[in-house]
Amino acid sequence: MSTPSPALLPIRRLTPRDLTACADLSENRGWSRQEHRWNFLLTAGTGYGIDDPDGGLIAACVLTQYGPQSRPDLGAIGMVLVAERYARQGIGRRLMRHVMATAGTTPLTLYATPNGRPLYEELGFKIIGWAETVAGHFTPEPGEQCSSSDGRLTTRAATASDLTGILRLDEEVFGADRTALITRLPAFADQLRVAEKHGRLIGYAAAWPNTGTHVVGPLIAQDTETAKALIASLAARTDRPLRTDIDLRHEELLAWLKACGLAPTARNAVMTYGITELPGDESRRFAPLTVAAG
Ligand SMILES: CC(C)(COP(=O)(O)OP(=O)(O)OC[C@H]1O[C@@H](n2cnc3c(N)ncnc32)[C@H](O)[C@@H]1OP(=O)(O)O)[C@@H](O)C(=O)NCCC(=O)NCCS
Same domain, 87 and 197: no
Q: Does 145 score more than 60 pLDDT?
A: no
Same domain, 191 and 258: yes
Same domain, 82 and 155: no
Find out whether 289 and 44 touch, Cβ atoms under 8 Å: no
Query: How many angstroms separate the alpha carbon of residue 114 from the centre of ligand 1?
Result: 10
Same domain, 138 and 94: no
Same domain, 78 and 12: yes
Q: Does 143 score more than 80 pLDDT?
A: no
Same domain, 142 and 83: no
Per-residue pLDDT, 257:
97
Question: How far is it, in rounded angstroms, from Cα 69 to Cα 61?
Answer: 20
Domain containing 144 equals 134-265
Per-residue pLDDT, 286:
98
Q: Is the CB of 87 under 6 A from ligand 1?
A: yes
Report the share of the chain in percent with pLDDT over 90: 93
* Dihedral sign of CA atoms 173, 174, 179, 184 in order: negative
Q: Whole-model pTM?
A: 0.95
Q: What pLDDT band is residue 1 in, cutting at 50, 70 and 90? A: low
Same domain, 58 and 163: no
Same domain, 97 and 149: no
Query: How many angstroms separate the alpha carbon of residue 116 from the centre of ligand 1?
Result: 6
Per-residue pLDDT, 283:
98
Q: Does 71 score more than 70 pLDDT?
A: yes
The larger pLDDT score, comparing residue 1 to residue 40, is at 40
118 domain residue, yes or no: no
Per-residue pLDDT, 4:
72
290 domain residue, yes or no: no
Same domain, 171 and 211: yes
294 domain residue, yes or no: no
Average pLDDT value for residue range 117-145: 91
Report the share of the chain in percent with pLDDT over 70: 96
Domain count, the chain: 2
Same domain, 184 and 255: yes
83 domain residue, yes or no: yes
Question: What's 147's domain CATH number?
Answer: 3.40.630.30
273 domain residue, yes or no: no
Q: Which atom of ligand 1 lies nearest, measured to the CA of 95?
A: 12
Q: Which atom of ligand 1 lies nearest, measured to the CA of 112?
A: 48
Q: Is the CB of 6 under 6 A from ligand 1?
A: no
Q: What pLDDT band is residue 151 in, cutting at 50, 70 and 90? A: confident
Per-residue pLDDT, 5:
83
289 domain residue, yes or no: no
* Mean pLDDT (the chain, rounded): 95
Find out whether 262 and 197 touch, Cβ atoms under 8 Å: no
DSSP state string for the chain: -PPPPGGGSPEEEE-GGGHHHHHHHHHHTTS---HHHHHHHHHHSEEEEEE-TTSSEEEEEEEEEES-TTS-SEEEEEEEEE-GGGTTSSHHHHHHHHHHHHHTTS-EEEEEPTTTHHHHHHTT-EEEEEEEEEEE---PPTT---S-S-TTEEEEE--GGGHHHHHHHHHHHHSS--HHHHTTHHHH-SEEEEEEETTEEEEEEEEEEETTEEEEEEEEESSHHHHHHHHHHHHTT-SSPEEEEEETT-HHHHHHHHHTT-EEEEEEEEEEES-SS-SS-GGGEEE-S-TTT-
128 domain residue, yes or no: no
Q: What pLDDT band is residue 140 in, cutting at 50, 70 and 90? A: confident
The Cα angle at residue 42 between residues 118 and 4, in degrees rounded to 5: 60
Same domain, 80 and 191: no
271 domain residue, yes or no: no
Q: Does 270 score more than 70 pLDDT?
A: yes
Q: Which atom of ligand 1 lies nearest, measured to the CA of 94?
A: 12
Per-residue pLDDT, 244:
98
β-bridge partners, 261: none
Same domain, 98 and 143: no
